């Protein structure tokens, strides 16, 4: 099932600032490093980062947050831009928190926090109630301030959670998740503080201890599941009883893990919106957050790049460009490379598909696959298709060596997606000789080119389905007495 409404992100926003440079000497007046050649990097933090990450996955996102009338909030709105619409909660007397890290040679050596005054959140506006009623999933990013304590908002979140997946990323100083959350996502340190009174077997960071505390929190919060993120060890998923699921993480070299929790929660919420099981959502989120920190974490984040999207979680770790479609395009362009795109339903992947994808990737420096959604496939192929759901088709494609990113589109054609990505080449396999590709005119608008690739004759998903049905009929008839 493909999500039909927006992913609504609710929570506290922060303004994150990195002052990054090189440290080659100590200050003459004290044993402190002198950081030179400083570059300022500014990004949304907290719920703002989670929302922007989800938007870069190609999802429709709405951010609900209290915003103070100050310069930091205005800068946050500018950073979120048109990608993340903001519905502001009434907020009286508060400040926008600003967290500034001083980074020397890739490592954080100091942090200065400003904007500690927390205001009062007012009653829920009608526009927020409306967007929660239309959400495909809700992600609460609680950063221990005022957003999640307001009674009318909590009531609306509980109602939304009874209808669609609700993912709650908690904070020890924040509010308890509302009952009925599909998934609550504390990290190991947070679980230790939230359930410090729970007696645990063995070492405090052992899996037996983590499961004991996670199960207790699951019961206490009346959550359907609690997943504890364990850093480089992966994640443990507890349903409050029975044997927990542990998803190991890939080994990655990482210095800066800032933002990994937001990447994890945003991916899990998006996958649940697509109809994934909690176990599938956690596995995809582990892969995505591992890729995110391998690429530098939030410190490497810019308003035009971010890595580790939900649809591409299976592809991360291939050692190439795996990430969201926008990210792959941005990085390829920044390196002066050629962006290639192709598209189709890719229902029951076969040798003809693989040959086309291999040929398309050889035309440039990255390949983005534009994938028809389930509804789009039904309109094009009939009510019995697709056989394989869009999330599964995307996952299989993203795992292929020659595919750098997958982006799902809802229309009958990928025109809107192509206009956003603006690839240099649009490649299609098939018998289009002497006929213009439908996308050729659109590509020409930005100087792109549509091309036709050789294809393997006789390979067809429709033919495969017919052959399978025919064999099934023959087997059934042969079994009759």
| pLDDT for residue 368 | 95
- Beta-sheet pairing, 425-429 with 449-453: parallel
* pLDDT surpassing 60 at residue 308: no
* pLDDT surpassing 60 at residue 353: yes
Domains of the chain listed by start with CATH number:
7-21+38-300 (3.40.1190.20), 325-467 (3.40.50.620)
| pLDDT for residue 3 | 54
**Strand (E) or helix (H) holding 207:** helix 207-221
| pLDDT for residue 466 | 57
Q: How confident is the model at residue 312 (pLDDT cuts 50, 70, 90)?
A: very low
User: CA 248, 253, 255, 257: dihedral to nearest 10 degrees?
Assistant: -30
Cα separation of 126 and 163, whole Å? Answer: 19
Work out the angle at residue 159's Cα, subtended by the Cα atoms of residues 163 and 57, and round it to the nearest 5 degrees: 55
Cα separation of 68 and 93, whole Å? Answer: 8
Q: Which of 152-156, 359-363, 446-450, 461-465 has the lowest mean pLDDT?
A: 461-465
Start-to-end C-alpha separation, the chain: 40
| pLDDT for residue 399 | 86
* Residue 304 neighbours by CB distance under 10 Å: 13
| pLDDT for residue 349 | 87
| pLDDT for residue 436 | 63
Cα separation of 72 and 97, whole Å? Answer: 8
**Strand (E) or helix (H) holding 236:** strand 235-238
| pLDDT for residue 403 | 93
| pLDDT for residue 38 | 86
| pLDDT for residue 302 | 53
* pLDDT surpassing 70 at residue 225: yes
Q: How confident is the model at residue 473 (pLDDT cuts 50, 70, 90)?
A: very low
Cα separation of 414 and 346, whole Å? Answer: 14
Which residues are part of the catalytic machinery? 262
Cα separation of 280 and 292, whole Å? Answer: 18
In the β-sheet with 405-409, what is the strand arrangement from edge to edge? 405-409, 366-372, 339-344, 425-429, 449-453
| pLDDT for residue 140 | 96
pLDDT tens profile 257-271: 788 899 999 999 999
Q: How confident is the model at residue 317 (pLDDT cuts 50, 70, 90)?
A: very low
* pLDDT surpassing 90 at residue 186: yes
pLDDT: is 305 or 92 the higher one? 92
| pLDDT for residue 359 | 85
Instruction: Return the percentage of the chain with pLDDT > 90, whole number.
Output: 36
Q: How confident is the model at residue 154 (pLDDT cuts 50, 70, 90)?
A: very high
- Asked if 108 and 102 count as a contact pair (C-beta separation under 8 A), the reply is yes
Phi and psi at 284, nearest 5°, equal -65, -40
- Asked if 44 and 262 count as a contact pair (C-beta separation under 8 A), the reply is no
* pLDDT surpassing 90 at residue 306: no
Instruction: Return the percentage of the chain with pLDDT > 70, whole number.
Output: 87
* pLDDT surpassing 70 at residue 450: yes
pTM of the predicted model as reported, rounded to 2 decimal places: 0.65
Q: Which of these, 426, 402, 410, lies nearest to 371 by C-alpha position?
A: 410
Q: Which of 205-209, 273-277, 469-473 has the lowest mean pLDDT?
A: 469-473
């Amino acid at each position: 099932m493909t999500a039909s409404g927006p992913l609504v992100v609710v929570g506290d926003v922060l303004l994150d600032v990195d002052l990054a440079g090189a440290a080659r000497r100590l200050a003459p007046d004290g044993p402190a490093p002198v950081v030179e050649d400083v570059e300022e990097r500014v990004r949304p933090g907290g719920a703002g980062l989670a929302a922007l990450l989800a938007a870069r996955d190609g999802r429709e996102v709405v951010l609900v947050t209290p915003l103070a009338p100050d310069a930091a909030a205005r800068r946050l709105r500018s950073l979120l831009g048109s990608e993340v619409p903001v519905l502001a909660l009434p907020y009286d007397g508060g400040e926008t928190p600003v967290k500034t890290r001083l980074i020397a040679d890739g490592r954080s050596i100091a942090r200065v926090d400003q904007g500690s005054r927390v205001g009062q959140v007012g009653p829920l506006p009608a526009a927020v109630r409306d967007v929660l009623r239309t959400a495909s999933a809700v992600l609460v990013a609680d950063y221990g301030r005022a957003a999640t304590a307001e009674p009318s908002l909590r009531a609306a979140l509980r109602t939304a959670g009874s209808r669609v997946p609700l993912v709650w990323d908690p904070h020890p100083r924040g509010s308890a998740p509302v009952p009925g959350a599909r998934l609550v996502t504390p990290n190991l340190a947070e679980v230790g503080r939230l359930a410090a009174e729970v007696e645990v077997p063995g070492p405090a960071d052992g899996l037996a201890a983590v499961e004991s505390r996670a199960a207790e929190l699951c019961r206490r919060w009346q959550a359907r599941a609690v997943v504890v993120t364990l850093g480089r060890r992966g994640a443990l998923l507890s349903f409050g009883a029975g044997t927990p699921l542990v998803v190991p993480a890939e080994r990655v070299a990482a210095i800066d893990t800032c933002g990994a929790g937001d990447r994890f929660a945003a991916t899990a919420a998006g996958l649940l919106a697509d109809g994934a099981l909690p176990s599938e959502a956690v596995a995809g989120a582990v892969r995505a957050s591992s890729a995110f920190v391998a690429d530098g974490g939030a410190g490497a984040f810019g308003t035009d790049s971010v890595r580790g999207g939900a649809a591409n979680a299976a592809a991360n770790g291939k050692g190439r460009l795996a990430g969201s479609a926008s990210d792959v395009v941005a990085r390829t362009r920044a390196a002066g490379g050629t962006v290639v795109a192709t598209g189709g339903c890719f229902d029951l992947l076969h040798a003809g598909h693989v040959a086309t994808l291999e040929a398309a990737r050889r035309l440039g420096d990255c390949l983005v696959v534009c994938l028809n959604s389930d509804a789009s496939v039904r309109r094009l192929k009939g009510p019995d298709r697709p056989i394989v759901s869009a999330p599964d088709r995307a996952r299989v494609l993203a795992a292929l060596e020659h595919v750098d990113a997958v982006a799902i589109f809802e229309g009958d054609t990928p025109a809107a997606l192509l206009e956003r990505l603006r690839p240099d080449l649009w490649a299609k396999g098939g018998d289009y000789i002497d006929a213009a590709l439908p996308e050729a005119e659109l590509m020409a608008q930005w100087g792109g080119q549509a091309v036709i690739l050789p294809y393997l004759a006789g390979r067809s998903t429709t033919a495969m389905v017919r052959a399978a049905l025919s064999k099934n009929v023959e087997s059934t008839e042969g079994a009759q007495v």
